[in-house]
């Protein structure tokens, strides 16, 4: 495996996605934030600051997930449809390099988008003189990036063996279930049926526990978990992302073109 070739794929993928009007999402985020501040000012004056902080963090996560899913599921399919994959594969480029390069390229795009939205977000908070815990917010946004990098890997996994539409639906399904996988486990424990308990435990083990990476509520009140837990959750995200990419590489290596 050559990191030089991976870098070329990642940089080319980054430029391709950036040119694909993806940065319009940043403008949409700024518009949503300003509209939300104006509307919420009329109905939630006493808790406006906390709501705006929470809304901004949630909007960054949702818009980032849209990029990860809709772009990630099409990265490989687009190469297949354009027949460019047939040109790339005979070259001294193995399929693992292609998958890793595509993932790194899209992760870089998400990092740029999150960075730009964070600057706008903090600028809006400062403009409207809203007090906010800067450190907690930045930590929360970093863990959102880890979550979106994981979702990007999942979107790539589904994208290597299904259509873009089905891959997007499956990716969103995993995203939503991952958000509530811990609740699903607790719900199974309340059941007296052993088969339901086993099913919920299996689902919890297979699905990503995205609640580990959701620090929005803690960030609003500047109540972050202890450093040991933060490190543990970060390593969990990296391990799960690497595992999903390994599965994607294995499945992709079995396909014939």
Q: Are 77 and 168 in contact (CB under 8 A)?
A: no
Structural domain that includes position 170: 3-254
CA Rg value for the chain? 20
- Encode pLDDT of 138-183 as tens digits: 999 999 999 999 999 999 999 888 888 899 999 999 998 888 877 7
DSSP label of 210? G
- Polymer length of the chain: 257
DSSP label of 162? S
Residue 93: is its pLDDT beyond 70? no
Which of the two residues, 28 and 257, has the higher pLDDT score?
28
* Whole-number Å distance between alpha carbons of 208 and 66: 18
Residue 19 confidence (pLDDT) = 75
Band (pLDDT 50/70/90 cuts) for residue 90 is low
Mean per-residue pLDDT of the chain: 84
Give the pLDDT mean for 20-31.
82
- Encode pLDDT of 187-219 as tens digits: 777 777 777 778 777 877 888 889 889 998 888
- Encode pLDDT of 111-143 as tens digits: 999 999 999 999 988 888 888 889 999 999 999
CA 37, 42, 45: angle at the middle one, nearest 5?
80
Residue 181 confidence (pLDDT) = 75
Q: What's the token pair of residue 188? A: 């199974």
Burial class (CB in 10 A: 0-12, 13-18, 19+), 146: buried
* Whole-number Å distance between alpha carbons of 45 and 90: 62
pTM: 0.89
Q: How many structural domains does the chain have? A: 1
Q: Which of 194, 237, 196 lies closest to 213 in space, CA to CA?
A: 237
Residue 236 confidence (pLDDT) = 94
């Amino acid at each position: 495996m050559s990191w030089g070739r991976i870098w070329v794929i990642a940089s080319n993928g980054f430029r391709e996605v950036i040119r694909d009007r993806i940065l319009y999402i940043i403008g949409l985020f700024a518009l949503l934030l300003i509209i939300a501040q104006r509307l919420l000012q009329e109905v939630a004056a006493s808790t406006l600051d906390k709501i705006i902080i929470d809304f901004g963090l949630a909007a960054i996560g949702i818009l980032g997930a849209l990029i990860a899913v809709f772009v990630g599921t099409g990265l490989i399919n687009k190469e297949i449809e354009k027949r460019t994959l047939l040109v790339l594969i005979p070259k001294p480029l193995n399929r693992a390099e292609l998958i890793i390069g595509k993932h790194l390229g899209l992760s870089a795009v998400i990092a740029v988008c999150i960075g730009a939205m964070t600057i706008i977000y903090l600028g809006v908070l400062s403009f409207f003189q809203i007090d906010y815990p800067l450190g907690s917010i930045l930590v929360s946004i970093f863990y959102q990036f880890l979550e979106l990098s994981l979702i990007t890997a999942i979107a790539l996994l589904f994208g290597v063996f299904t259509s873009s539409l089905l891959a997007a639906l499956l990716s969103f399904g995993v995203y939503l279930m991952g958000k509530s996988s811990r609740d699903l486990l607790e719900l199974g424990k309340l059941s007296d049926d052993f088969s339901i308990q086993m099913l919920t435990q299996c689902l919890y083990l297979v699905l990503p526990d995205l609640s580990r990476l959701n620090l929005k509520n803690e960030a609003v009140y500047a109540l972050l978990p202890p450093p040991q837990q933060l490190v543990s959750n970060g390593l969990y995200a990296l391990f799960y992302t690497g595992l999903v990419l390994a599965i994607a590489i294995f499945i992709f290596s079995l396909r014939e073109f």
